[in-house]
């Protein structure tokens, strides 16, 4: 009965030993549609993931040391140690992805100053031609003749 309890405890601890690595793919289907803004956003997101993985790796190392030391007195705790290297594998995959994104950004010329679009050559506009000047109405001869002595 005691052996069954030790085996059950060992199985439970092995289940908590760590998660399987889930490395990110270097080339992804949406890459062909990414513009510079999307590339930079993913680079920043990947940097945050790498920082989180570094923190997880430090925690996992501490947990493994504690399980190793405690395993001297309770050997079943050694089953709880994580030897999968999840954080290392995922970090390596993210670094490879970052290198690919950097080459993609270089191909798309991200970060280079944008050239202003060429101006269309404009011709100076000529002043509008004046229209015909309206002439004053001619005075009738009768009014002119009446005024003469």
* Band of residue 10 on the pLDDT scale cut at 50, 70, 90: low
**Amino acid 84: pLDDT:** 87
Q: Which of 82, 67, 75 is nearest to 18 (CA)?
A: 82
Residue ranges of domains in the chain: 22-107
Helices within 1-76 (DSSP H only):
2-15, 36-71
- Beta carbons of 54 and 88 less than 8 angstroms apart: no
* Chain segment 16-28, per-residue pLDDT in tens: 567 889 999 999 9
**Amino acid 79: pLDDT:** 85
Instruction: Return phi, psi of residue 16, to 5°.
Output: -95, 0
Among the ranges given (74-83, 104-113, 121-130), the one the predictor scored with the smallest mean pLDDT: 121-130
**Amino acid 99: pLDDT:** 97
Q: Is the dihedral of CA 99, 100, 103, 105 positive or negative?
A: negative
Average pLDDT value over all residues in the chain: 79
b vs e for 48-81, b when ≥16 Cβ sit within 10 Å of the residue's Cβ? eeeeebeebbeebeebbeebeeebeeeebbbbbb
Instruction: Return phi, psi of residue 126, to 5°.
Output: -80, 150
* Chain segment 34-71, per-residue pLDDT in tens: 999 999 999 999 999 999 999 988 888 888 888 889 98
C-alpha to C-alpha distances, 64 to 58, 60, 78, 124, nearest whole angstrom: 10, 6, 8, 79
Helix (H) or strand (E) holding 24: none
| Comparison of pLDDT for 143 and 89, the residue scoring more | 89
CA angle 25, 17, 74 (to 5 degrees): 160
**What is the C-alpha to C-alpha distance for residues 34 and 42, in angstroms, rounded to an integer?**
10
**Amino acid 80: pLDDT:** 82
* Chain segment 85-115, per-residue pLDDT in tens: 888 999 999 999 999 999 999 999 987 776 6
């Amino acid at each position: 009965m005691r052996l069954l309890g030790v085996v059950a405890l060992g199985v439970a601890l092995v289940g908590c030993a760590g998660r399987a690595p889930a490395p990110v793919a270097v080339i992804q289907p949406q890459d062909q549609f990414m513009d510079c803004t999307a590339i930079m956003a993913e680079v920043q997101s990947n940097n945050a993931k790498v920082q989180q993985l570094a923190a997880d790796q430090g925690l996992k190392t501490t947990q493994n040391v504690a399980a190793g030391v405690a395993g001297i007195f309770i050997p079943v705790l050694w089953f709880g140690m994580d030897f999968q290297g999840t954080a290392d594998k995922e970090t390596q995959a993210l670094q490879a992805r970052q290198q690919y994104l950097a080459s993609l950004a270089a191909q798309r010329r991200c970060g280079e100053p944008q050239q202003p679009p060429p101006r269309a050559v404009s011709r100076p506009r000529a002043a509008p031609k004046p229209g015909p000047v309206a002439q004053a109405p001619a005075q009738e001869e009768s009014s002119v003749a009446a005024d003469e002595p």
